[in-house]
Amino acid sequence: MRLLVVGKLNGQLASAVKMAMSAGAKVSHVESVEAATHALRAGQGADLLMVDYELDIAGLIAANESERIRVPVVACGVGADAYGAANAIKAGAKEFIPLPPDAELIAAVLAAVSDDNRPMVVSDPGMKNVMALADQVAPSDASILITGESGSGKEVIARYVHQKSRRQAKPFISVNCAAIPENLLESELFGHEKGAFTGALARRIGKFEEANGGTLLLDEISEMDVRLQAKLLRAIQEREIDRVGGSKPVKVDIRILATSNRDLAQAVKEGTFREDLLYRLNVVNLRLPPLRERPGDVIALAEHFIKKYSAANGVAVRPLSSEARRRLVAHRWPGNVRELENAMHRAVLLSAGPEIDEMAIRLPDGQPLAPADAHARTAQAASLAAETASRAFVGQTVAAVEQQLIIDTLEHCFGNRTHAANILGISIRTLRNKLKEYSEAGVPVPAPQMGASAA
């Protein structure tokens, strides 16, 4: 966790910095908002800015945004009243920390924006095999492709590999390729020179240079545009990058990790992913099985999350009842570890007795987990329905079946393109291209309903 403190280090702010360092943060300091933007632009990375609320927080955020720098801000201050704290939040701060500082509050704020302290909780034999392979290859500089369903823990194991590598004392930088628009991702990765585009007021160091000496994680790399993939391939091969608008290459020394929740071999066949880049990234593949395939981890993870959220909410740690354990193991967990974590957070809040019983463990829609035997009946019914549906496809072309599947899935998601693409296991770009073909052929395509994303 990299923390950049902005403001004069008077007594109370200095105490807050010491508490942040005790909580594991790597702290650096500047006195003005201008110096903060300059430091970030120059490659002094930060995961969080802690800013004196009397400084121009809105101006700092605007200056960073103009340089395509997005780092969350928390405000802090001595003797601030509710009005001052509210103004800091209105200016764009995510949280307000009153000074004199409280160690638990600072630790909680750091934990809220940091993934650094998520431990690997492993009990299942299948997952232990994955971890054994990770331990074996971590000390090398080989590129690693980490694959698995959304929520299965790909970034957690990427951080684990970094911590077990020879580069552990150097930066670990993560870039979510799916979350950054295509026209911004190149600058985010490779940086830019002054004047490279409108708003480029000065040189900006990209994530490749920021990670120099350490590890760069390219999260959900399947969403990267093919044109940019070519530039990435060259950077990996030559160990040098070209800033946007630059005139000469810049040498970098990094280890590349990448994650994907999609089948990249299929993406290669579809023409949305470069085969040569896949070979470069996939020197070693760590496939994380979904949670439903690692039942031995379910209870271990559940108990870990119970301890975590009991401490966070100031309540006693309660054990799981026998029926709760049975239902947890029987549930299929389509959201994987992320879904389990949310369910156990709710369970800690809803549980009232000496144990966490089955009725305290709720699905996102508020319904309790089904009894263990109900899952077997549901699986049998689903198998019968699948067999009936497959017969209906006999005699149709593959293209027709694919079209019907895509349209039906889109209707199921109320027109939400992103959700439909995730369910279908294809990229959002592939889905958009398919829908464009259908529309041009006169096939009605479900439009996003109110509240659904058209992305």
CATH number at 200 reads 3.40.50.300
Rounded to 5 degrees, what are φ and ψ at 92? 125, -5
Least confident of 44-58, 282-296, 320-334, 413-427: 413-427
Gap between the terminal Cα atoms of the chain: 31
Query: What local confidence, expressed as pLDDT, does residue 24 receive?
Result: 77
Better pLDDT: 109 or 233: 233
Domain-located, residue 428: yes
- Whether residue 218 has pLDDT greater than 90: yes
Total of domains in the chain? 4
Residues 282 and 300 in one domain: no
Residues 130 and 73 in one domain: no
Residues 149 and 274 in one domain: yes
Written as six digits, the tokens of 109 are 């704020």
Domain-located, residue 246: yes
Separation CA 337–CA 50 (nearest Å):
31
Q: What is the mean pLDDT of residues 276-303?
A: 95
Give the whole-number percent of the chain exceeding pLDDT 90.
Answer: 45
Residues 367 and 402 in one domain: no
Which of 372, 387, 417 is the last residue in one of the domains? 372
- Whether residue 391 has pLDDT greater than 50: yes
Strand pairing class (95-99; 215-219): unpaired
- Please check whether residue 281 is in contact with residue 256, taking contact to mean a CB–CB distance below 8 angstroms: yes
Q: What is the mean pLDDT of residues 152-160?
A: 93
Which of 71, 89, 113 is the last residue in one of the domains? 113
- Whether residue 450 has pLDDT greater than 60: no
Which CB contacts under 8 angstroms, 24+ apart, belong to 82-90? 84/53, 85/53, 87/53, 88/53, 88/57
Query: What local confidence, expressed as pLDDT, does residue 276 receive?
Result: 95
- Please check whether residue 145 is in contact with residue 288, taking contact to mean a CB–CB distance below 8 angstroms: no
Query: What local confidence, expressed as pLDDT, does residue 103 receive?
Result: 82
pLDDT band at 451 (very low <50, low <70, confident <90, very high): very low
Domain-located, residue 119: no
Residues 210 and 324 in one domain: no
Q: In CATH, what number is assigned to the domain containing residue 403? A: 1.10.10.60
Q: What is the mean pLDDT of residues 342-346?
A: 94
Residues 301 and 436 in one domain: no
Separation CA 104–CA 94 (nearest Å):
17
Query: What local confidence, expressed as pLDDT, does residue 452 receive?
Result: 47
Query: What local confidence, expressed as pLDDT, does residue 211 receive?
Result: 93
Q: In CATH, what number is assigned to the domain containing residue 359? A: 1.10.8.60
Domain-located, residue 64: yes
Domain-located, residue 388: no
Query: What residues contact residue 324 under an 8 Å CB cut-off, 6+ apart?
Result: 347, 355, 356, 357, 358, 360, 361
Residues 182 and 104 in one domain: no
Query: What local confidence, expressed as pLDDT, does residue 386 receive?
Result: 53
Domain-located, residue 120: no
Report how far apart, in Å, the C-alpha atoms of 432 and of each of 123, 393, 405, 437, 441 are.
Answer: 40, 24, 14, 9, 14
Residues 81 and 189 in one domain: no
- Whether residue 248 has pLDDT greater than 70: yes
Query: What residues contact residue 323 under an 8 Å CB cut-off, 6+ apart?
Result: 357, 358
Q: What is the mean pLDDT of residues 96-120?
A: 76
Which of 113, 135, 160 is the last residue in one of the domains? 113
Residues 174 and 205 in one domain: yes
Query: What local confidence, expressed as pLDDT, does residue 373 receive?
Result: 67
Residues 138 and 273 in one domain: yes
Residues 105 and 244 in one domain: no
- Whether residue 159 has pLDDT greater than 80: yes
Query: What local confidence, expressed as pLDDT, does residue 141 receive?
Result: 94
Q: In CATH, what number is assigned to the domain containing residue 62? A: 3.40.50.2300
Distance from the Cα of residue 352 to its chain's centroid? 33
* Domain of residue 221, residue span: 125-287
Q: Which among 167, 169, 172, 50 has a CA at the least distance from the CA of 116?
A: 172
Residues 184 and 221 in one domain: yes
Domain-located, residue 401: yes
Domain-located, residue 450: yes
